[in-house]
Structure 1
Amino acid sequence: MINCIIVDDEPLAATLLENHISKIDHLKLTGKAENALEAYKLLQNQSVDLMFLDIQMPHISGIDFLKSLSQKPKTIFTTAYRDFAIEGFELEAVDYLLKPITFERFFKAVERVSRNINDPKDDFIILKTEGMHRKLSLADIIYIESQGNDIKITLSTSENFISKSKITDLELLLASKGFIRIHRSFIINSEFVTAFNNNELHLGSHKIPVGRSYRQEFEIFTSLFSKNRLL
C-alpha cells in the first residue's frame, strides 16, 4: 500500500485527484492540504510515500516547499502551467502532470512510483522470445519498436529479439528507468541519444521519429538533456 497526500489549494483539482486515487487499490489517501504549512504538518505526523503537489499555491510555492524538505517523499507535481517542468524534474520529482489530469496520465505516473518503491534495483526485464524466456539487461536495450502484435527489441550487442508483448506494458515498466516513449511505435533508452531535433531523434545510427502526440514529454526530456550542455 502506498500512502499518499494531496497538496492543492484548488478544490476541483483536489477532488479530481481524490477520485483518481480511489480507483487504484494500492493507493491510500491519508490526508489533504491546501497550502505548504498544512502539508508540512501532515508530513510530520504520518508516513507519506507519495505527495501530489500543486506548484502555484498561496504563500509558498510547491517548488519552494519541496526544496525546504530535508526528507522528501516521492513527489508528482500537478499544475496548470508547463513552465516549471525543468525545475520540477531537477528536484527529482517522479512526474509532472498538467491539469486537467486525465486518469490515463495519472495512472502512468503512479505506476512509475509503484515500480520504484516495489523493486528499486530492478535493472533487467524477462521477455518470451523464440520459445525461450530471455533476461535482457536494460543497459543493453537501445530502443523498442511495436510491430503489430509483437515488439522488436534492438540491443547494443547488435542483436534483435521479437516478443509477443504490448508496447504499453513496457512503457509503464520502463518509465522510471531512463526510457521514454516518443512515438506510438517507439520507446527509446535515453542513454543512447546522440542527436535530436523537433521531429527526429538519433540513437547512434538509428533514427527514430517523434510522434505528434508525444511532443510534450519529448520537449521536457530534450530540455533536461540539453540543460548545461548546449554551447
Structure 2
Amino acid sequence: MKINTLVVDDDAIWKKVITKFVQMNPLLELVGVCSSAIEAYAKLAQVEVDVLICDIELPDMSGLSLIRSLPRPPLVIFVTSYRHYALDCYEVSPVDFLLKPLELDRFLQSIEKVRQRLLVAPETSTIAPYFFVREALNYIQIAYDDVLYMKAQENFLQIVTPAQSFFPILSITKMEEQLKGDVFLRVHRSYLVHRGAIASIGKNELTLRDGQVIPIGDQYRAQLTRKHIEGRLISRA
C-alpha cells in the first residue's frame, strides 16, 4: 500500500528535509511539494492525497486554516517550530503534531499512525450523515457536520454553513423530524443548532465557535441541559 503524501512548508531547508524523509520511506508516495496553503489547496483538487505533512505558519493562510477550509481533508501531520500551536491544532484531529527540528524516528512513528488509520477496513467505516436540499433543478448534498445552525424564517428554513446559506421551503419542525441521530439540538422555537458547533452556553443564549449568538428558549433550556451538559460537566470533588 502506497500512501500518497503532500508536503507543505515555506521554509526551503525544512521542505528539503521533510521531502527527504518522505522519499526514504517505502510506504510513502510523494505527490507534491508546496510552499503555501493556496498552492496546496490547488494541488489537493488535482491529485488524491492520503496524508498532508503541513507547516502551520505559511505566508498566505495558516496550515490550520487550510485544513478547516477543506470539506473532506486528508489525514494531516502538523509540523512547526512553535509548541503553543498544539492545542489549536487538535480541534481538527490531526494524526500527529511534530516539533522542529524533526527527528527521523519520531517522523516514522507518525507515519505508522497514518498507516494504522488507513488500514481500517472499508466495510467498517461509515459514511458521514448528510441530507439534500433542492435549488432550482439541482439537489445539493449537505453534510451534517458542515451545518452550524438552522433558523426558521417566514415560510422557509435557513440552513447556515461556514461557506454559505441554503433556503429550502420547509418548516423547522419538519426538518427536526427528518434529521437522524442527536447531532442537532432544538434550543429555541426558531433554531436548531449543531452540537459540535457550540462554544459556550449561557443562561439565555449560547455562542457558536464562529461567534454567532443563538437565543435559548425557556421551554428548551431543560432539554439543552439534559442532553448536552449533564454527564459531561467537569467539577471539583
TM-score calculated relative to the size of structure 1: 0.52
In structure 2, distance between residues paired with 1:103 and 1:26: 14
Partner of 1:2: 3
Partner of 1:39: 40
In structure 2, distance between residues paired with 1:230 and 1:90: 22
Task: Figure out how many residues of one structure are paired with residues of the other and give that number.
Answer: 127
Q: Gaps (5+ residues) in structure 1? A: 123-227
Matches within 5 A, 1:31-180: 31-119=32-120
Partner of 1:26: 27
SS at match of 2:118: helix
In structure 2, distance between residues paired with 1:229 and 1:5: 39
Q: Deviations over 1:95-118 (max 9, x none)?
A: 000001000000000100001101
Task: Report the alpha carbon displacement of residue 230 of structure 1 after superposing the two structures with TM.
Answer: 6.6
Gap change, CA 1:28 and 1:90, over 3 Å in 2:
same
Identity level (%) = 32
Task: Report the alpha carbon displacement of residue 71 of structure 1 after superposing the two structures with TM.
Answer: 1.0
In structure 2, distance between residues paired with 1:99 and 1:120: 33
Question: Which protein, 1 or 2, shows the higher relative CO under an 8 Å CA cutoff with sep ≥ 6?
Answer: 1
In structure 2, distance between residues paired with 1:94 and 1:22: 20
Q: Is the 8 A contact 2:95 2:110 kept in 1?
A: yes
In structure 2, distance between residues paired with 1:23 and 1:230: 48
In structure 2, distance between residues paired with 1:46 and 1:229: 44
The alignment yields a C-alpha RMSD, in angstroms, of 2.0
Q: Deviations over 1:45-80 (max 9, x none)?
A: 000000001000112011111111111000000000
Q: Gaps (5+ residues) in structure 2? A: 125-232
